[in-house]
Structures are given as C-alpha cells and as structure tokens.
Structure 1
Amino acid sequence: MRPFPWKDTMQFGLGVLRLPPEVFWKMSPRELAAAWGAVVGERAGSMDRPGLEALMERFPDGR
C-alpha cells in the first residue's frame, strides 16, 4: 500500500486551486477528486462547433 500523496494533494489544493487552508482541510476526498477532474480534464470530450455556437448564443459577449 502506498502512502497518501499529501504533498501533491496540498500543492494542488492550495497552489493550483488557490483554496484558503480552512476550505482545503474541510473538503472531502470526493470533493477534491471532483475538482481535480474539472481542472485536469476528466471530461466527456472536446466541444464540437455546434456546442460552441450554442454556448456563444447562450452567453453572448458585449450585449
């Protein structure tokens, strides 16, 4: 069994996500894993052109 990667976890939570320590230490492992997936890219796939156009229509710039 490998030890828990505290150094990497703290660097990600405090450094990459810039969470205040009190918020970081209140997170559950599942919440931290969800944040990791959102940042690192565990997503369904790339957005296609129709998806981008729908997003641009829903959230237009400068209106």
Structure 2
Amino acid sequence: MSQADATFAAAATRLAGLAALALGWRPDEFWRATPAELAAPGAALAPAQPAPPDAALRARLQEMFPDG
C-alpha cells in the first residue's frame, strides 16, 4: 500500500466514525453517501459566515486607515 493509499484509508476511517457518531450512519450508509450528502450536515451545523463589507464600509475604513 502506498503512502497516499494509507493516508486516504485513515482519513476515510475517521470520516466513517464521525458520520456514525454525528449522524447515526452505519458503515454501508457512509460508503453509499455522495460527497454532497457528507458535506450537507457539516454545512448545516457550521456557524453562519458574516457578509463581506459593502463598498461604503470599505470606503470608510480606507479613510480611517489610509495606506502609506
């Protein structure tokens, strides 16, 4: 087994265990899941990301903290 194969196998084993704990999935459910199905619960549990600053806020910040 190559190093890459060993790394993939270890990562897959950890993910299967996490899916079992967090989602109640059995191994066959984990292995049949698509990447999107694996990502969806994580995205739903992740904290919301704030919106990026708009143009007006960027302009005010540039005035407050000019470069140079």
Instruction: Please report the TM-score for the alignment, with normalisation by the length of structure 1.
Output: 0.47
* Structure having the larger proportion of residues in helix: 2
> TM-score under structure 2 normalisation?
0.45
